[in-house]
């Protein structure tokens, strides 16, 4: 599923597929174009496809093997693409989620959800010899020698 195959989708469907709006995709692609230089042989996938691979990986968290099969490249190529795109986008500083301080500012409404995940004991038989019936030595029949 290359970028060329999905660029015709309306903005709602595009965001539903990739997790970002087409405008955000375009600004991410602009950052990638500025930072990533092309050397050596031509790429199998375009920069827009590199970004698409990364966004779909983040969105669906599929295995890199499955993504490699879908895009027609190896699993290790998918891994290198994701790592490279993540590094460039993180270094740009334009695409970050708000931190803890933004959540703790005054006037921010915080919703708390409590979930009881404590362990409960399960009754199991004790591991001692009281649970088995062993006969005493005196109760066993001895063979009398004649």
* Structural domain contains residue 105: no
Residue 110 in any domain: the answer is no
Q: What is the pTM (predicted TM-score) of this model?
A: 0.63
Q: What is the 3-state secondary structure (H, E, C) of 9-20?
A: CCHHHHHHHHCC
Residue 50's domain comprises 3-97
| Residue 9 to residue 13: CA distance in whole angstroms | 6
In a domain, 132, yes or no: no
Please tell me the total count of domains within the chain.
1
pLDDT per residue of the chain (146 residues) written in tens, 0 to 9: 788 888 889 999 999 998 889 999 999 999 998 888 777 677 788 899 999 999 999 988 889 999 999 999 999 999 999 999 988 998 888 877 666 776 676 666 767 787 777 777 777 777 766 555 566 656 556 566 55
The sign of the torsion formed by the CA atoms of 30, 36, 40, 41 equals: negative
């Amino acid at each position: 599923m290359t970028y060329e195959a999905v660029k015709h989708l309306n903005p709602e469907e595009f965001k539903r597929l990739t997790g970002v709006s087409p405008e955000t995709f375009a600004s991410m692609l602009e950052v990638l174009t500025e930072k990533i230089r092309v050397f050596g042989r031509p790429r199998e996938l375009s920069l827009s496809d590199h970004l698409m691979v990364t966004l779909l990986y983040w969105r669906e968290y599929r295995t890199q093997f499955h993504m490699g099969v879908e895009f027609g490249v190896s699993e290790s190529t998918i891994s290198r693409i994701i790592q490279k795109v993540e590094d460039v986008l993180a270094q740009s500083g334009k695409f970050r989620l708000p931190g803890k301080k933004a959540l703790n500012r005054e006037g921010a409404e915080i919703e708390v959800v409590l979930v009881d995940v404590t362990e409960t004991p399960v009754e199991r038989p004790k591991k001692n010899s009281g649970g088995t019936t062993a006969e005493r030595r005196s109760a066993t029949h001895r063979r009398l020698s004649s």
